[in-house]
Structure 1
Amino acid sequence: MQAKALVKRKVFPEITEKEKSDDESDKQAFVPDDEDMDVDEIGQSVCDDKDAVCLFCDERFSENQIGELWVRCIMCNLWAHEQCSGAEKDDYVCDFCR
């Protein structure tokens, strides 16, 4: 019996250099240069209302312990302690607005 010679063939067509560069540019992520899109780390918001009340425990901001972090709901603009809310980012939506 004679052994058959293996025939090599290409499964995918060859890609030119131009096609490679086009593909690479398509894969780059588009991130708009817009300050409104930034999500700050938790606690960078500053409560500007001394009479603000925590949504969960009803403690006033003026009675707040130094160093406690507060977050504001982006839907209703009400404030809450970071610990009471469980928020992880300043881009927070409270349980009542969900």
Structure 2
Amino acid sequence: MHALSFVLQYRKPQLFKALISEMSDNLFRPDMAAVTVEFGKKYIKRTRTMLEQETEPAVKQIEALKKLEIHFQEIGMKCVDGQAVAPYAVICHGDLWNNNILYKFDVS
């Protein structure tokens, strides 16, 4: 779904625009925001807890996850703002599996 929408946006931009004009965010609507945020925070906390239990805890990653947990709703809202990241936005069906999240690693 994600990659296909990226290809569609590139090859048939008018069709892509027509499709997304009919869509709306379903994760951060007023009736779903609390559930979405708590769900996200729960799994961030689980990940952080696993890292804390390691023989050599990943201190930087743990701190980053703490910040992510605190600011999850704000960050989540930015993540679903397709206008802000166009032309790299894709149609997303709302799952947070690691194979559906694009990471950027910055050595510095």
TM-score scaled by length of structure 1: 0.23
Tell me: higher relative CO, structure 1 or 2? Use CA pairs within 8 A at least 6 residues apart: 2
Q: Highest Rg: 1 or 2?
A: 1
Instruction: Choose between structure 1 and 2: higher helix proportion.
Output: 2
